[in-house]
Amino acid sequence: MFKHIRAAAVFFAFALVLTAQSSAQNWNNVKALSVGTSVRISVGSRIVAGQVQRVTDDSLVVDSGKGQEMFTRQEVMRVSTKTKSHRLRNTLLGLGIGTGVGIGIGVGVGHANDCSSGFLCGLNTAAGGALGGAIGLVGGTVIGAVIPTGSWHEVYKR
């Protein structure tokens, strides 16, 4: 029984790999790019970044730092597009999660705190929640803002 399950798992893995490879090898993915899309193109040992101007069955025209450049389909090795940046979303998520976690930790410390001396002594539940929430808000917002966003996604590979 385990042999059949293992064979099915191997077959499924190969099917996924083949599907993923065939979609990136399709020039129709490049033809579907709209004018103005930011692309990065590998041509031989050179990488050209620019915006799509026109795509045909045989060529790709981009506006790069050198002006308009035309590449034939045969010389294009790889085409990648830039995914949308989610920096604002990540910042707001970091703000919310950091604040929530900070309040939780602060309330827990304030609730468990019954000592007679020390840095956290005298910190009640509400004060602990407020202090923890403020620290979590700042920390979470900073972490959310610095998480890398917007990566390159390969749409064509020869």
Read off the pLDDT of residues 62-73 as tens digits, 9 standing for 90 and up. Answer: 999 889 999 999
How far apart, in whole angstroms, are the C-alpha atoms of residue 92 and residue 98?
Answer: 10
How far apart, in whole angstroms, are the C-alpha atoms of residue 144 and residue 87?
Answer: 8
Output the pLDDT for position 22.
45
The 10s digit of each residue's pLDDT in 128-157 is: 888 889 999 999 999 988 887 778 899 999
| Tokens encoding 28 | 């129709």
Output the pLDDT for position 158.
86
Closest alpha carbon to 63 in 96, 95, 38: 38
User: Looking at the predicted structure, is the pLDDT value of residue 18 above 50?
Assistant: no
Average pLDDT in the chain: 82
C-alpha pair distances (Å), 71 with each of 58, 74, 76, 89, 156? 9, 8, 7, 36, 14
The 10s digit of each residue's pLDDT in 75-91 is: 999 999 988 788 888 99
How far apart, in whole angstroms, are the C-alpha atoms of residue 77 and residue 90?
Answer: 33
The structure tokens 């790889």 sit at 78
Provide the Cα torsion 18, 37, 86, 49; round to 10°.
80
Thinking of the domain 2-82, which architecture would CATH place it in? Roll (2.30)
* Helices and strands in the chain, H and E counts: 4, 6
Predicted confidence band of residue 19 (pLDDT cuts 50, 70, 90): very low
User: Looking at the predicted structure, is the pLDDT value of residue 59 above 60?
Assistant: yes
Give residue limits of the domains in the chain: 2-82, 87-148
